[in-house]
């Protein structure tokens, strides 16, 4: 038989240290004065035994679980095409640790999952708060509405346009698109096309607005033929129409880069000589394309910290008033835009 380590309780630890459970608890949770014999003895015993308080008991008594949740409402296949979700998870895991919190991830691939998972996640005493990768993908998000109604402390990554009382952290897509277009204009491009997968996401609308603003500011007209909605490889008439306009620059989602490149290649267009390319999101992919892709990049680490900080604040002080924080984005200059220096790097102004 293997030697199963005896499951100690706080009472055992207290007895071994010659103090009361109350004191042991306070020591373990850093609640007593620093100069104390009792404190030292308890810490000694804890170190020796490797004691960890029972999670459920602690949660029940303190009404805190010291666990945050990150809800990823997308099937695994989607996560692969939007890999910054993973980076987000990593960053948030880190940020939680800095506050002695643990982060649990929940994958929710389908509506069926939603029905089964949500009630369990929103149970009292399970997690203290929830971060949801929200409304970047759809402008109206019933999931966030549902969650918000449960009273669970909540922060959304991405702005849920129809839920003003939900706190969120978002990237300033409008300004980022504006700066990207300005950059292309500065490089002498004049026939700049915009390619988006869909205009439903609020993020896409912001980018379109930034694009328009960039052109308008220079007094350039916006030709609707230069705005293509839908994939490049799809038989989307819009994309074809766009190419027929002979654009000298293209602003597009990074994940479409391979398709776009192969289409341009087939059309014997050289990048960036004949046509400059700028991507929306700085996916790892951007560095692997040929030529490497100039892209807009969200400050994920900072956004992750902000999300966690806000959530902790909401857990401690309630969700009112809602907090809204918008982060400026970076433009990472690589070869595809035709800028001269590789090291040249240029930031958008704070939103």
Partner DNA sequence: CCTCATCATGGAAGCGCTTGCACTATATTA
Partner DNA sequence: TAATATAGTGCAAGCGCTTCCATGATGAGG
Interface with a second copy by CB under 8 A: which residues? 2, 4-5, 7, 52-60, 65-66, 75-77, 79-80, 83, 86-87, 89-90, 93-94, 97, 102-107, 109, 113, 116-117, 119-126, 150-151, 165, 284, 320
What's the closest the beta carbon of residue 232 comes to a second copy, in angstroms? 15
Query: Is residue 36 at the binding interface for DNA, with CB under 7 A as the rule?
Result: yes
Cβ–Cβ under 8 Å, residues 313 and 328: no
Which one, 184 or 308, has the nearer CB to a second copy?
Answer: 308
Task: Tell me which residues in 237-296 interact with DNA (CB under 7 A).
Answer: none
Which one, 125 or 142, has the nearer CB to a second copy?
Answer: 125
As a whole number of angstroms, the distance between CA 274 and CA 259 comes to 17
Question: Of 318, 250, 281, whose CA–CA distance to 158 is shortest?
Answer: 281
User: Which listed option, a second copy, DNA, none, makes contact with residue 38 (CB within 5 to 8 Å by class)?
Assistant: DNA
As a whole number of angstroms, the distance between CA 164 and CA 159 comes to 9
User: Which listed option, DNA, a second copy, none, makes contact with residue 22 (CB within 5 to 8 Å by class)?
Assistant: DNA
Task: Tell me which residues in 116-155 interact with DNA (CB under 7 A).
Answer: 124-125
As a whole number of angstroms, the distance between CA 176 and CA 170 comes to 12
As a whole number of angstroms, the distance between CA 81 and CA 283 comes to 9
The helix/strand/coil state of 350 is coil
What's the closest the beta carbon of residue 118 comes to DNA, in angstroms? 17
DSSP H/E element including 239? helix 237-244
What's the closest the beta carbon of residue 6 comes to DNA, in angstroms? 11
Query: Is residue 25 at the binding interface for DNA, with CB under 7 A as the rule?
Result: yes
For residue 112 the two structure tokens come to 């069926």
Q: Taking every pair of C-alpha atoms in the chain, what is the biggest distance, in angstroms?
A: 84
User: Which listed option, a second copy, DNA, none, makes contact with residue 93 (CB within 5 to 8 Å by class)?
Assistant: a second copy
Which one, 18 or 151, has the nearer CB to DNA?
Answer: 18
Query: Is residue 60 at the binding interface for DNA, with CB under 7 A as the rule?
Result: yes
The helix/strand/coil state of 341 is coil
The helix/strand/coil state of 224 is helix
Cβ–Cβ under 8 Å, residues 250 and 217: no
What residues line the site for DNA (CB under 7 A)?
Answer: 7, 9-11, 18-23, 25-26, 28-29, 31-39, 53-54, 57-58, 60-64, 124-125
């Amino acid at each position: 038989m293997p030697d199963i380590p005896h499951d100690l309780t706080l009472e055992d630890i207290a007895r071994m240290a010659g103090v009361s459970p109350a004191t042991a608890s306070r020591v373990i949770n850093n609640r007593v004065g620093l100069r104390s014999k009792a404190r030292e003895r308890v810490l000694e015993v804890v170190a020796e035994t490797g004691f960890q308080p029972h999670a459920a008991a602690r949660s029940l008594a303190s009404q805190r679980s010291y666990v945050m949740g990150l809800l990823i409402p997308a099937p695994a296949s989607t996560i692969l095409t939007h890999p910054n979700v993973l980076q987000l998870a990593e960053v948030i895991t880190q940020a939680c640790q800095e506050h002695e919190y643990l982060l649990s991830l929940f994958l929710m691939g389908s509506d069926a999952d939603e029905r089964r998972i949500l009630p369990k996640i929103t149970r009292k005493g399970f997690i203290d708060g929830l971060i949801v990768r929200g409304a970047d993908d759809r402008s109206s998000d019933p999931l966030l509405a549902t969650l918000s109604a449960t009273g669970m402390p909540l922060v959304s990554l991405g702005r849920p346009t129809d839920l003003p009382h939900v706190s969120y952290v978002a990237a300033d897509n409008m300004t980022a698109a504006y700066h990207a277009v300005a950059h292309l204009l500065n490089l002498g491009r004049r026939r700049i096309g915009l390619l988006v997968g869909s205009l439903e996401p609020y993020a896409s609308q912001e980018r379109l607005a930034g694009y328009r603003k960039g052109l308008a500011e220079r007094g350039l007209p916006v030709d609707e033929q230069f705005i293509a909605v839908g994939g490049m490889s799809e038989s989307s008439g819009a994309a074809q129409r766009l190419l027929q306009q002979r654009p000298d620059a293209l602003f597009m989602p990074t994940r479409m880069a391979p398709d776009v490149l192969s289409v341009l290649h087939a059309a014997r267009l050289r990048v960036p000589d004949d046509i400059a390319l700028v991507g929306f999101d700085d996916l790892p992919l951007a560095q692997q394309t040929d030529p490497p892709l100039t892209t807009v990049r969200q400050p994920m680490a900072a956004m992750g910290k902000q999300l966690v900080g806000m959530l902790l604040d909401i857990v401690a002080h309630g969700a009112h008033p809602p907090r809204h924080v918008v982060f400026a984005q970076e433009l990472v200059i690589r070869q595809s835009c035709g800028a001269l220096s590789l090291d040249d790097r240029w930031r958008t102004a704070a939103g």
